[in-house]
Amino acid sequence: MLNLDQLAAFVSVIDLGSFTAAAEKAGLTQPAVSLQVKLLEQRLGVRLIERVGRRAQPSPAGLELLEHARRILEGCATAEEAMAPYREGAIGRVRIGSGGTASIHLLPRAIAAAKKRMPGLEIIVRIGNTDDILRDIEANRLDLAVVTLPASGRSLEIEPFYHDELLAVAPKGSSMPTAGPDAEFMRDKTLMLYEGGNTRRATDNWFMAAGIRAEPAMEFGSVEAIKELVAAGIGWSILPSMAVNGGSSAVLTTSPVRPRLVRELGMAMRRDKHLTKGLREVIRCLREV
Amino acid sequence: MLNLDQLAAFVSVIDLGSFTAAAEKAGLTQPAVSLQVKLLEQRLGVRLIERVGRRAQPSPAGLELLEHARRILEGCATAEEAMAPYREGAIGRVRIGSGGTASIHLLPRAIAAAKKRMPGLEIIVRIGNTDDILRDIEANRLDLAVVTLPASGRSLEIEPFYHDELLAVAPKGSSMPTAGPDAEFMRDKTLMLYEGGNTRRATDNWFMAAGIRAEPAMEFGSVEAIKELVAAGIGWSILPSMAVNGGSSAVLTTSPVRPRLVRELGMAMRRDKHLTKGLREVIRCLREV
DNA sequence: TCAAAAGAATTCCTTATGCATTGCATAGGA
DNA sequence: TCCTATGCAATGCATAAGGAATTCTTTTGA
């Protein structure tokens, strides 16, 4: 393999016309530079510098190598410069996987905060179900997951960071028990439940605890669609508070259920994940939400 | 100053997806490669490889460095190669790719002529199909290709240099129309055609022009094999004249077909190929064939 | 001003070892 | 029966220490 120090020494000698001068510039002694050039010549099997009289001039081969060498050295400089933004943290990429609800109502805030601190940060959000996302985390196709707990995986590290209460949601003006509706109360309603993995499981368990089996009239994969349906008076639902705490109070009536029902969101990463500046920033912003 | 060994180690690890594999390929131990990459990362102040579980993947920064590194390493290879013609003693080496027929009947003459002028010239011939050879030309694994035209490639320069007529070939003593056999005449014969890319295509077109679809009884990848079969009286064929103009007139009857059918051979090189003395010589001898 | 030789310093590689992840096997629970 | 959990062997990378090789400096000569 060629050696960049040797190439640089060679170029410098030609440019300055002297081994001694090149040595001085490089902070070395003259014999060191002589040796570098000599080794390069040996390596290529070609005489590169004609030591004639006082000035060091390139041989024909040296002349041609000069062009190549300059290009190579310039390429190295360019490469080094290209790395600087990454070092400063001015550039980076964080790939986040998340369920649909969090993507809409929770991530944007965190992402906005992170972007404010690191404007060059590139953030990619992939929406999917928990299993797929965790698989991508394990395969390092994603850097960070935001999922509803519980979640497991031997190579994963999971950090709960947000409690989100599930609320009973009814059309505007519906009568709601003051202590909050319980399972008994809800069973008579036309129920539309969100067909998300852990969120749905939590809901089922809540009914189950009261000895009731949840029998939703409809199941939807989209919280937003359910909100529309409830607002239209089709029926009731139980939805994450983060999804209904926006401007929807004008068309929906919400209340905590009895006993209260909370789902926990967590961040998941590979245990051995290397924390880049950008990733660290995003995690910090998520914790602060 | 950056270090080419480190860059090469880094690229190799990414390409092979493993430190251990890269080490093996480089004839080193795994810790050596780990160290190379680590030093490179320290030097640039950036994480380059995500050691995720069992696989090694490039980080965003690594991905960008990868492009630079490849360019730099290729530049080094080019530079080294450019020095070869200046090297004393070794006159050079020319790597030629060619189809089977040309390799047997055309190249030897040209090579002999070149060797006569430059006795020290080292010549390597690789036989293969046009696609593979052109790919090797583009990748600079070959210096010069001799292929049947048409051939194309963005980075290739192609120079036609030889017209080779395709002849009808029959067992010795077969009656041949004086004006030469046409497609109509040939269709009744037991046909054995050479299964080469452009040569075969030219033959098909010749039949097609007469409104006849070539229906060979057999197809062979070897012209020599077909000659044997024709000589044994199995059937007729249409073969490059260069393949049957040798000592085969004792066992074969040949004739130009009507209308005449000619295939064109060309030389192909990378457009930016540096012409060494040896390469120039070989090209000259090929033109003179 | 450059080249050559000998000793010194540094770099780089190898061996040995530890830690983490992974895949498979076996056992337990819904 | 299927899914989940736990233990074990295997694999791959990181680290540390010793040693080989390279590369530098000093000195001297042309």
Domain boundary at A66, A88, A110, which?
A88
Say yes or no for a CB contact (<8 Å) between A1 and B5.
Answer: yes
Measure A129 CA to nearest chain B CA, in Å: 23
Which residues in chain A have their CB less than 8 angstroms from residue B27's CB?
A: none
Q: Can you give the CATH number for the domain in which B35 is found?
A: 1.10.10.10
Q: What φ, ψ does residue A125 adopt, rounded to 5°? A: -115, 125
Which token pair is A201? Answer: 């499981």
What's the mean pLDDT in B221-234?
A: 81
Of A1, A46, A92, the CB nearest to B60: A92
A4, A94, A95, A269: best to mutate for the B interface, most B CBs within 10 A? A4
Query: Splitting chain A (289 residues) into consecutive groups of 10 residues, what average pLDDT does each group show?
Result: 89 86 87 89 85 72 89 92 86 85 82 87 85 83 85 81 87 81 81 79 79 76 82 86 76 84 86 85 87
Q: In a 3-state reduction of DSSP, which class is residue B124?
A: strand
Which residues in chain A have their CB less than 8 angstroms from residue B2's CB?
A: 4, 76, 79-80
Residues B187 and B256 in one domain: yes
**Cβ-count burial of B176 within 10 angstroms (0-12 exposed, 13-18 middle, 19+ buried)?**
middle
Measure B161 CA to nearest chain A CA, in Å: 31
Say yes or no for a CB contact (<8 Å) between B44 and A87.
Answer: yes
Instruction: Identify whether the C-beta of residue B237 lies closer than 8 Å to the C-beta of residue B166.
Output: no
Give the model's pLDDT for residue B8: 92
In this prediction, residue B110 has a pLDDT band, given cuts at 50, 70 and 90, of confident
List, for residues A149-199, the tens digit of each pLDDT value: 777 777 888 888 888 888 888 888 877 888 888 877 888 878 888 876 777
B4, B48, B67, B275: best to mutate for the A interface, most A CBs within 10 A? B4
Give the model's pLDDT for residue A139: 82
Beta bridge partners of B253: B170
> Is the per-residue pLDDT at B11 higher than 90?
yes
> Which residue does chain B place closest to A79, by CA atoms?
B68
Domain boundary at B85, B113, B147, which?
B85
Which residue in A21, A8, A1 sits closest to A68, CA to CA? A8
Which residue in B227, B219, B226, B234 sits closest to B252, CA to CA? B227
Q: Which nucleotides of C are covered by protein (CB under 7 A)?
A: 1-6, 12-16, 20-23
Instruction: Give the integer Cα–Cα distance in Å for A104 and A102.
Output: 5
Instruction: Give the integer Cα–Cα distance in Å for A56 and A41.
Output: 14
Residues A282 and A207 in one domain: no
Say yes or no for a CB contact (<8 Å) between A91 and B3.
Answer: no
Q: Which nucleotides of D are covered by protein (CB under 7 A)?
A: 4-6, 11-17, 23-27
Which residue in B233, B243, B245, B101 sits closest to B170, CA to CA? B233
Residues A139 and A156 in one domain: yes
Domain boundary at B85, B105, B137, which?
B85
List, for residues B40-64, the tens digit of each pLDDT value: 998 888 889 988 777 788 988 899 9
Percent of chain B with pLDDT over 90: 13
Give me the domain span that covers residue A192.
163-262
A249 touches B at CB < 8 Å: no
Q: What is the dihedral of CA A34, A37, A43, A49, to 10 degrees?
A: -110
Measure A84 CA to nearest chain B CA, in Å: 8
Which residues in chain A have their CB less than 8 angstroms from residue B87's CB?
A: 44-46
B2, B33, B49, B275: best to mutate for the A interface, most A CBs within 10 A? B2
Residues B81 and B207 in one domain: no
Measure B269 CA to nearest chain A CA, in Å: 21
A72 Cα distance to chain centroid? 34
Which token pair is A119? Answer: 């404007």
Structure letter (DSSP) for residue B14: H
Q: Can you give the CATH number for the domain in which B174 is found?
A: 3.40.190.10
> Which residue does chain B place closest to A40, by CA atoms?
B80
Residues B14 and B78 in one domain: yes
Instruction: Identify whether the C-beta of residue B12 lies closer than 8 Å to the C-beta of residue A16.
Output: no
Residues A244 and A170 in one domain: yes
List, for residues B191-225, the tens digit of each pLDDT value: 888 876 778 888 888 888 888 887 777 778 777 88
Residues A269 and A157 in one domain: yes
Give the model's pLDDT for residue A196: 67
Give the model's pLDDT for residue B94: 82
Which residues in chain A have their CB less than 8 angstroms from residue B71's CB?
A: 75
What's the mean pLDDT in B101-122?
A: 79
> Which residue does chain B place closest to A141, by CA atoms?
B57
Give the model's pLDDT for residue A252: 84
A186 Cα distance to chain centroid? 40
Measure B145 CA to nearest chain A CA, in Å: 26
Which token pair is B42? Answer: 């320290």
Residues A111 and A246 in one domain: no
Give the model's pLDDT for residue B184: 79
Instruction: Give the integer Cα–Cα distance in Å for B177 and B175.
Output: 7
Q: In Å, what is the CA distance from B48 to each residue of A51, B6, B10, B45, B60?
A: 43, 12, 8, 9, 8
Instruction: Identify whether the C-beta of residue A148 lies closer than 8 Å to the C-beta of residue A199.
Output: yes
Give the model's pLDDT for residue B249: 67
B231 touches A at CB < 8 Å: no
Residues B28 and B95 in one domain: no
Q: In Å, what is the CA distance from A9 to each residue of A19, A60, A165, B46, B273?
A: 9, 18, 68, 27, 28
Q: Supply angle C-alpha A251, A255, A259, rounded to 5.
A: 155
List, for residues B130-142, the tens digit of each pLDDT value: 888 888 888 778 8
Residues B247 and B173 in one domain: yes
Rg of chain A over Cα atoms, rounded to whole angstroms, equals: 32
pLDDT winner (highest mean) among A146-150, A255-259, B2-6, B183-187:
B2-6
Position B195, amino acid: E
A233 touches B at CB < 8 Å: no
In this prediction, residue B247 has a pLDDT band, given cuts at 50, 70 and 90, of low
**pLDDT top residue among B163 and B176:** B163
Structure letter (DSSP) for residue A247: G
Position B282, amino acid: V
Say yes or no for a CB contact (<8 Å) between B55 and A5.
Answer: no
Residues A242 and A172 in one domain: yes
Say yes or no for a CB contact (<8 Å) between A3 and B8.
Answer: no
**pLDDT top residue among A265 and B289:** A265
> Is the per-residue pLDDT at B90 higher than 70?
no
| Number of domains into which chain A is organized | 3
A79 Cα distance to chain centroid? 24
Cis peptide before B259 (omega within 30 of 0): yes
Instruction: Give the integer Cα–Cα distance in Å for A97 and A146.
Output: 6
Residues A107 and A71 in one domain: no
What's the mean pLDDT in B8-21?
A: 91
Q: How many CA atoms lie within 13 A of A226 on its CB side?
A: 26
In this prediction, residue B91 has a pLDDT band, given cuts at 50, 70 and 90, of low
